[in-house]
Structure 1
């Protein structure tokens, strides 16, 4: 539909208002067609990976499992977004042929395609034949929000007996995720069955009323603090009125809170207040020095030396089982060493690249990318890894493209070694991509996409389930 339209040659200042609107429609259609091309390309890559996966089961390659990995490093997006695109492509090919054609022509965009998929996933196929044309006609003249409202109304009317079936299928999509935001904040979001969600909501409200009316916090702030109190084991929200014994809610019992199970890498100079270098919060990224020192007040410390005698090659099995090696490698790496993956090192596995084993020859990989390395070492997938030096791990994709990752945690523990750091005094630390959930990305409006096809549910690193089998410590393939 948009072939031959040279958008870059358009003279916008010379256009009339009507011409600008036409140009806007043309540009939006071209963007939608480009989105479709990307979805269809990654869907075909996934199909080929599935066809080539001949060793299912333990120790083999699950069909198509690394298609999203290859695509993600190629276009520099997260694997969750690619998994969502694969899911969209499978749905369009599976039961929405008209929607696929409209998407390919650029007449509807990815946001509207997602609405149609989401509202037809469990609809009876005889109903779908009547429903899909109506949804497409509506999609051409309304917004995604209005389209979703209409879709829900029509599905309830055309397939009322399917309500229970859809609810039961949707319950399988329950999930809770965290998305990193700027300024040391994060979004906590979840998809829960309505009774469970209401249980959480009512419990948070109940805890929010455990403080007196003079507490200075708003109700949203109280609910947020109550969620943390619920998780830390105290079970109550402490009043912030400052009136001590005169507070009417002073007698509400509470358990002592547990220490938060988080990992922070902080330079010694920052901890002592000598410098203001940022610290590293595992799973989030850089946080300011003041917050790091505040969190450190109740922390358990582990000193990570810049050089370690664990670097000296000794008996591989002894080093591999050393708690010191474990904590030092996790602290220095900070996160999974696969390109673009931000799974915290504390939730990842140790991968050994050479014999004898030392700190310099060990990296952390999340369960998903550790599996990829293991399969690559066994020549079961066309990937390759090479530890060029302790700070540079190279990944070679099946197309031959080389991607290099570095020890992110080391950049924060030893700021003087970070040659890529900005030199301006007023420049803040760069934000990293969130470890959990999809980022807000205009090019890939896929955050919150609920997968239709269950075989894709382990593509994102945080959803990979580690194998139960022990990993041989002295085998360089692990």
Structure 2
């Protein structure tokens, strides 16, 4: 529907430099048009689901509650991303008609639209009318980062008295998250009030300077280790100069760290070094076998038989272990932190949010349908009839022979793979959890029904 024959027929090799720049701008405009169509379509779907599902009470579907879930499985994105698209679409419709028209025409892209939406939140309609054309003009000549700075400066000028109101509202959005990235690492990300953020920063710097000058770590590494030391209760960095009692800070007492509960799944063969199958870290995903064995040195073990235990309590633990994650398509909530939903064929792990979706679907109160399509498969059918099947991800790690879709690497390639890995690591690229297709990380919807779309943010019904 959005195919541009002009772009597909371009011969980039024959273009002049000016022609290539023009082609870049044409392509960027086509991307913006497609992004706008996506936002408007998502917004319209939300409006329809909201009109269909207003049923008050604990057994009713809250208005538009699962529209983002439907979008998420259709686009294969996180529900938070789907919620942000809905929120931006509603903001454009309600208060930013010029930006909406420019977005539809491809003159501004999603990244800049999101900046304008964020920076005009909570302003009086008259002020938005003053700022909108100026921000739109600025968006055509500067990048999103500069646009955000410019918008913040202008907002502070036209509404100086609103700075406190906006700050107080924004403080309610404070949050800390952990997002998985590659190579056994995770991105620790937080949104804090500025004084609190500076308190954390200064405390980490203070701890980073508590070691002796011969500690081999960089300041960045020390800050990261200091954050863990704050969490485990030791409260102080242990020096790594390896000089023992000759270290000038060796006599400073350090509390023994508290070991937090983390759950790791690994096959028996990988645990005993008979094969190098990856392990599974709950809340993160695959980790290399060596790291799994390192974590196992101080672990309590629970053996999970492939056929499943007969005892009810053990069966619940077994279900969560073999499921790995919540069984809703795309949900990354660890099964260890999810509940169990029962049905034909046994129980499955579902987080609070998607357990509610299944319970309402089973009662015929939504357009969703859920049923087991075999021992390992759970099939979800959306209100539009699309089907999405999930499998027991944890079983792929506990019982590697069941991972029949995994590619097989010929032994002759092993050496070449190791050499390529070393070369790649030498580039020192920093891992990132930013979704390049949807530059929406950190966007917090203001509408209540869109603000708790991440499973870890959903409050179980019993605790509301």
TM-score range, shorter chain: over 0.9
Normalised TM-score (structure 2): 0.92
Partner of 1:465: 459
Tell whether the 8 Å contact from 2:181 to 2:433 is kept in structure 1 after alignment. Answer: no
Partner of 1:204: 204
Tell whether the 8 Å contact from 1:279 to 1:288 is kept in structure 2 after alignment. Answer: yes
**1:130 deviation in Å?**
1.2
RMSD: 1.8
Structure-2 separation of matches of 1:38 and 1:232: 44
Say whether 1:349 aligns with 2:339. yes
Q: Could you give the per-residue CA deviations for residues 118-140 of structure 1, whole angstroms, max 9, x where no partner exists? A: 11102232222111111001111
Partner of 1:121: 121
**Deviates most, 271-280 or 117-126:** 117-126
Say whether 1:454 aligns with 2:444. no
Structure-2 separation of matches of 1:195 and 1:309: 51
Cα distance change of structure 1 residues 125 and 252 upon mapping to structure 2, 3 Å threshold: farther
Write out aligned runs for 1:281-296 (5 A).
Answer: 281-296=281-296
Partner of 1:381: 366
1:421 to 397, 402, 406: 406
**1:439 deviation in Å?**
4.5
Q: Could you give the per-residue CA deviations for residues 412-451 of structure 1, whole angstroms, max 9, x where no partner exists? A: 00111211111115589xxxxxxxxx95333212122222
Structure-2 separation of matches of 1:212 and 1:469: 48
**1:11 deviation in Å?**
2.3
Say whether 1:326 aligns with 2:311. no
**1:18 deviation in Å?**
2.4
Query: In the comparison of the two structures, how many residue pairs are matched?
Result: 445
Partner of 1:57: 57
**1:5 deviation in Å?**
5.2
Structure-2 separation of matches of 1:261 and 1:95: 47
Partner of 1:412: 397
Cα distance change of structure 1 residues 390 and 241 upon mapping to structure 2, 3 Å threshold: same
**1:4 deviation in Å?**
6.2
Cα distance change of structure 1 residues 72 and 23 upon mapping to structure 2, 3 Å threshold: same
Structure-2 separation of matches of 1:288 and 1:4: 44
Tell whether the 8 Å contact from 1:83 to 1:460 is kept in structure 2 after alignment. Answer: no
Structure-2 separation of matches of 1:114 and 1:56: 32
- Structure 2 gap segments, 5+ residues each: 419-431
Cα distance change of structure 1 residues 3 and 129 upon mapping to structure 2, 3 Å threshold: farther
Partner of 2:422: none
**1:105 deviation in Å?**
0.9
Partner of 1:476: none
**1:309 deviation in Å?**
4.2
Tell whether the 8 Å contact from 2:187 to 2:433 is kept in structure 1 after alignment. Answer: no
Partner of 1:313: none
Say whether 1:366 aligns with 2:360. no
Structure-1 separation of matches of 2:231 and 2:52: 44
Tell whether the 8 Å contact from 1:210 to 1:252 is kept in structure 2 after alignment. Answer: no
Say whether 1:91 aligns with 2:91. yes
Q: Could you give the per-residue CA deviations for residues 174-226 of structure 1, whole angstroms, max 9, x where no partner exists? A: 11111111110111010001121112112212221221111111111111001
Q: Could you give the per-residue CA deviations for residues 271-290 of structure 1, whole angstroms, max 9, x where no partner exists? A: 11111110011111111011
Tell whether the 8 Å contact from 2:320 to 2:349 is kept in structure 1 after alignment. Answer: yes
Partner of 1:298: 298
Structure-1 separation of matches of 2:172 and 2:96: 22
**1:3 deviation in Å?**
8.6
Structure-1 separation of matches of 2:329 and 2:323: 13
Structure-2 separation of matches of 1:415 and 1:59: 40
Cα distance change of structure 1 residues 253 and 4 upon mapping to structure 2, 3 Å threshold: closer
Structure-2 separation of matches of 1:410 and 1:329: 10
